[in-house]
Amino acid sequence: MVRLNRIYTRTGDDGSTGLGDGTRLPKDHLRIEAYGTVDELSSVLGLCMAEGADGFDDRLKSIQNDLFDVGSDLCVPGIGDEGKRLDAGYVKRLEGWIDEWNERLQPLTSFILPGGSAAAARLHLGRTVCRRAERITVALAAEPDEKDKVNPLVIQYLNRLSDLLFVMARIANDEGRADVLWKPGAGAGQ
């Protein structure tokens, strides 16, 4: 159980922060960037719900909870499966939701511009923040001293979550009928 009785500690005033295992790292370390971006994503999803998410609230709340588990896995570097929160079930659940909603959509014939309805635009914002979290986590896992300390399911989860947010944005755009399609070369010669 987490218990916070004081919000400020002054321990980060030197530009470092503590990990879950007690290790201190600079606040600009890739590990801190990774779980900080996951936290940012959770905030974007909170905004999606606060401003109307077209009936996705229950699943977005579930995802926010998952993102705390993702952040926990990133905050406590480890080797092997010991102490890791994410398992294959997290990824499988997202894949099930993607399949469920994607069945309602027509296949794409063009790329989609982020927009359409307000809810879709917010979900697209979440998708792009999720992709950034994924890129940072991939970079972290590629570091020689970090590669065995990142749960690979974190990368898989973030990859599927960005796909899910894309599908949700299309659903929020009247099941894809209000998607804004890219028109290659539309600005040429103007």
Contact partners, residue 12, CB within 8 Å, separation at least 6: 18, 27
Domain contains 163? yes
Contact partners, residue 42, CB within 8 Å, separation at least 6: 64, 67, 68
Q: Is the pLDDT of residue 26 over 70?
A: no
User: For position 15, what pLDDT does the model report?
Assistant: 66
Q: Is the pLDDT of residue 24 over 90?
A: no
Domain contains 56? yes
Q: What is the DSSP letter of 188?
A: T
Domain contains 107? no
Give residue-wise pLDDT tens across range 100-142.
999 999 888 899 999 999 999 999 999 999 999 999 999 999 9
CATH code of 169's domain? 1.20.1200.10
User: For position 52, what pLDDT does the model report?
Assistant: 81
Q: How is residue 107 written in tokens?
A: 């296949």
Domain contains 14? no
Give this prediction's pTM.
0.89
Domain contains 15? no
Instruction: Tally the domains of the chain.
Output: 1
Domain contains 11? no
Domain contains 119? yes
- Count of residues for the chain? 190
Domain contains 34? yes
Structural domain containing residue 32: 25-100+112-175
